């Protein structure tokens, strides 16, 4: 794509917020340069867009602003990526088809694909997004949510999946940290310039992400993190990834918005449940209750099963295998009616289990073979359990993987 | 029903464990007296039943055992209830139609309705079961599970619903305690005689239940709590109630069995989620993942919505209402681009929000009316929030009800 077209895309993103459908339709028809010319000549096709353009141009010349932004990005080692570039993440183009049910607010109707991305970090953008999962959730995350998000980030990165999230405190930061701890690729999609990631409190984290992953934004360097931009940004997180996992969300929360976009895009929309006593899981549970297509997940194996790569099916959790699992009904009945302490005779066993005496005798010899029953002078008794019985399978992570240690510097 | 028929039902329940389908079919055809005569004459229709009857009769005369049990029940103030009695809970008859998918074990195939119930407590059995919900779960419940079960028991009883559960430690006991604390009716369905409820550690609880609710069993007074009986009993908990709530269950747990029976009976099967880090919620989450008909619930209001009485719909959880909720897109954009601190001029607002200056002026005067924005010498600023803003809706229970205090003596 020519420099002139790139500059026009940057200028258009500055003129009207990203996602504006009328601008996107014009670009489809006239190209970015023709669209910019038309809008600056006062030829916007509707009053709203005309007013928006007028208000913005009152604050500066769009072409000059765009040129300055490109120069600034160059100085700080950021680049701009546009459709047609090798590293353009084509999956976001599906935002063309995104239609949200009951959309009234601008942020729910103006969900066109991005016109450009600003990128900091060495990974090609498309490659980073290729095998990626979004992990999103509350800023005011609980210790529980932070723990789960860190584990998910770690587990995904450890299996060579990219983690994608915003840059907020709480779940976003925890997911990035988990991925960084596993030495994986993580992408922070920002609602402001990639040179001044917000919030400042995550500055060290953003530096680590830029070193080994990517900082990405639709807004030019220097752009402010205005509040509506977080919601505009969320459509990219949902559309750029193969699925979205929601870890914690309060009853009314922007975090559920990304999941709703994933649902509308027919991407896997996964939700981690939590204690019903926690205000930070109310939004998550409500999503699971209201959306039949949303899917409860409890760990990384189940997430990967949803985003569906062959050979990455999650094992169904099972309790520890017991020798008694293989027994037939008669044998199990006999074991079950044996007293916990002491021994009993064959006739008593037969009566208690409701099994004929000769069957009891046959099953008992098999149970002796299996070391489940012992014969004593006073009758038959349960064999003593092995020393560690009853603890097997306890206290492990559901997926059997080690817990990542605390953060190490990147 | 005649004393002779009642005695025959008691004897049949002793001869073969409750739920045995071949016995139930004979009773349908021949009545209880005829069935008992047939079986004691060696006329059982299949080898298994014949062997069972032979093994039991070797231990005693069924008619004498039954007569002794009836006399013993009389002495301790218990009664036997049989079909045709006013207080027979007819809902359990639906067990005739219960067919479990992939049933191989005896406990999953032998799920015929009870032949009789032994009852301790003054409530008529059918009346107690009429508006009832089962609350079941793990014995080794966590503090979280115990808390949730207590709240559910309290909330159900407080709304005049009967709580039904087993007699185990953990979730069962917590649900009963919650119901007792609310002064409600609670029913413990036991897997042993109502005169010797198990476990002993719940003895004081059983006494309280017998005082104001019911202790119920299919097994005669004096009967042992043999292990298979807990699973046989579960079908009654599922079939006697209008729905079953599972609070906590490990990966492999008898607690999920009752819920599976509720699902097979097409009754609401509800599951309370928990932390994915808790081994005691693994079985609950697996049920929610595997069974599309199972329903996630987070509190008593949602439980009552499932068991479906008009006027008891659960409110959808919402965050606190904010004045900004009623704003149109332009007004919201203006509020959102106002800085958190300090003031800005109208032109800057227009440029940032992408809204024409005259629109900004119109919206600002409305926002001033709503006390969302204040005009200052240096421009417009966000109005300071009310003192308690941001805390509203936090730290409350999902259903907004008070937490029951600790147990008070009944």
Q: Is the Cβ pair B286, A359 closer than 8 Å?
A: no
In a mutational test of the B interface, the residue from A273, A352, A391, A399 whose CB has the highest number of chain B CBs within 10 Å is: A273
Mean pLDDT of B117-123: 97
Domain B323-382 part of CATH 3.40.710.10: no
Cβ neighbors of A131 (< 8 A, separation 6 or more) are: A160, A161, A162, A242, A309
Q: How far apart are CA B90 and CA A251, in angstroms?
A: 41
Q: Is the Cβ pair A17, B337 closer than 8 Å?
A: no
Mean pLDDT of B250-258: 86
Reduced to 3 states (helix: H, G, I; strand: E, B; else coil), residue B134 is: strand
Q: Is the Cβ pair A356, B279 closer than 8 Å?
A: no
Q: Is the Cβ pair A319, B350 closer than 8 Å?
A: no
Structure tokens at A361: 């005798």
Q: How far apart are CA B232 and CA B253, in angstroms?
A: 14
Q: Which residues of A touch B275 (CB under 8 A)?
A: 144, 274-275
Structure tokens at A11: 């200028």
Instruction: Give the model confidence (pLDDT) of A29-57 as tens digits.
Output: 999 999 999 999 999 999 999 999 999 99
Q: Which residues of A40-53 are buried (b: 16+ CB within 10 A; e: fewer)?
A: beeebeeebbebbb
Q: How far apart are CA A103 and CA A196, in angstroms?
A: 32
Highest mean pLDDT among B46-50, B62-66, B345-349 belongs to: B62-66
Per-residue confidence band for B408, with pLDDT thresholds at 50, 70 and 90: very low
Note the ipTM here. Answer: 0.77
Distance (Å) from the C-alpha of residue A289 to the closest C-alpha of chain B?
6
Q: Is the Cβ pair B275, A275 closer than 8 Å?
A: yes
Distance (Å) from the C-alpha of residue B11 to the closest C-alpha of chain A?
14
Q: Give Cα separations from A129 to A91, A124, A153, A232, A262 (angstroms).
A: 9, 9, 15, 19, 15
Residue of B nearest to A144 (CA): B275
pLDDT of amino acid A74: 95
Is residue B165 within 8 Å of residue B171, measured between CB atoms?
yes
| Phi, psi for B79 (deg, rounded to 5) | -135, 160
Instruction: Give the model confidence (pLDDT) of A343-401 as tens digits.
Output: 888 888 888 888 888 888 888 888 888 888 888 888 898 887 655 443 333 333 333 33
In a mutational test of the A interface, the residue from B110, B222, B275, B297 whose CB has the highest number of chain A CBs within 10 Å is: B275
Is residue B278 within 8 Å of residue B287, measured between CB atoms?
no
Reduced to 3 states (helix: H, G, I; strand: E, B; else coil), residue B396 is: coil
Structure tokens at B119: 């009852």
Mean pLDDT of A162-169: 97
Q: Is the Cβ pair A55, B356 closer than 8 Å?
A: yes
Mean model confidence pLDDT for chain B:
89
Q: Is the Cβ pair A275, B274 closer than 8 Å?
A: yes
Instruction: Give the model confidence (pLDDT) of B36-62 as tens digits.
Output: 999 999 999 999 999 999 999 999 999
Architecture of domain B77-307 in this structure: 3-Layer(aba) Sandwich (3.40)
Architecture of domain A76-307 in this structure: 3-Layer(aba) Sandwich (3.40)
Written as one string, the DSSP assignment of A33-78 is: HHHHHHHHTT--SSHHHHHHHHHHHTT--HHHHHHHHHHHHHHTT-
* Domain residue ranges of chain A, discontinuous segments joined by +: 1-63, 76-307, 323-382
Mean pLDDT of A133-146: 97
Q: How many A×B Cβ pairs under 8 Å? A: 169
Q: Which of A224, A320, A329 sits opposite B105 (nearest CB)?
A: A329
Residue A385: count of CB within 10 angstroms of its CB:
10
């Amino acid at each position: 794509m020519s420099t002139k077209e790139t500059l026009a895309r940057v200028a258009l993103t500055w003129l009207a917020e990203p996602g504006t459908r009328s601008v996107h339709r014009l670009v489809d028809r006239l190209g970015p340069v023709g669209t910019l010319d038309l809008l600056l000549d006062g030829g916007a096709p509707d009053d709203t867009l005309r007013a928006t353009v007028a208000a913005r141009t009152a604050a500066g010349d769009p072409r000059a602003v765009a040129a300055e932004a490109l120069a600034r990005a160059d100085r700080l080692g950021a680049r701009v990526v546009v459709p047609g570039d090798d590293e353009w993440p084509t999956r976001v183009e599906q935002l063309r088809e995104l239609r949200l049910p009951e959309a009234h607010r601008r942020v729910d109707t103006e969900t066109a694909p991005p016109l450009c991305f600003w990128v900091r970090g060495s990974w090609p953008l498309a490659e980073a997004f290729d095998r990626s999962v979004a992990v999103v959730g509350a800023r005011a995350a609980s210790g529980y949510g932070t723990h789960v998000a860190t584990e998910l980030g770690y587990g995904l990165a450890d299996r060579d999946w990219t983690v994608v999230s915003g840059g907020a405190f709480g779940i976003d930061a925890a997911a990035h940290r988990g991925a960084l701890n596993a030495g994986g690729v993580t992408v922070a999609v920002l609602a402001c310039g990639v040179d001044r990631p917000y919030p400042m409190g995550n500055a060290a984290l953003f530096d680590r992400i830029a070193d080994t992953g990517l900082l990405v934004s639709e807004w030019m360097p220097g752009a402010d993190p205005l509040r509506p931009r977080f919601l505009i940004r969320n459509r990219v997180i949902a559309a750029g990834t193969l699925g979205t996992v929601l870890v914690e969300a309060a009853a009314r929360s922007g975090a559920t918005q990304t999941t709703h976009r994933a649902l509308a895009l027919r991407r896997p929309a996964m939700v981690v449940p939590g204690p019903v006593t926690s205000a930070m899981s109310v939004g998550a549970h409500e999503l699971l209750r209201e959306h039949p297509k949303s899917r409860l997940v409890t760990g990384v194996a189940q997430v990967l099963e949803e985003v569906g790569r062959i050979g990455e099916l999650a094992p169904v959790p099972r309790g520890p295998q017991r020798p008694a699992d293989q027994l037939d009904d008669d044998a199990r009945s006999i074991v079950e009616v044996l007293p916990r302490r002491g021994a009993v005779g064959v006739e008593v066993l037969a009566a208690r289990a409701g099994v004929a005496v000769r069957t009891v005798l046959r099953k008992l010899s098999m149970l002796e073979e299996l070391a489940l029953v012992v014969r004593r002078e006073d009758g038959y008794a349960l064999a003593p359990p092995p020393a560690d019985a009853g603890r097997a399978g306890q206290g492990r992570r559901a997926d059997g993987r080690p817990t990542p240690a605390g953060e190490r510097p990147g």
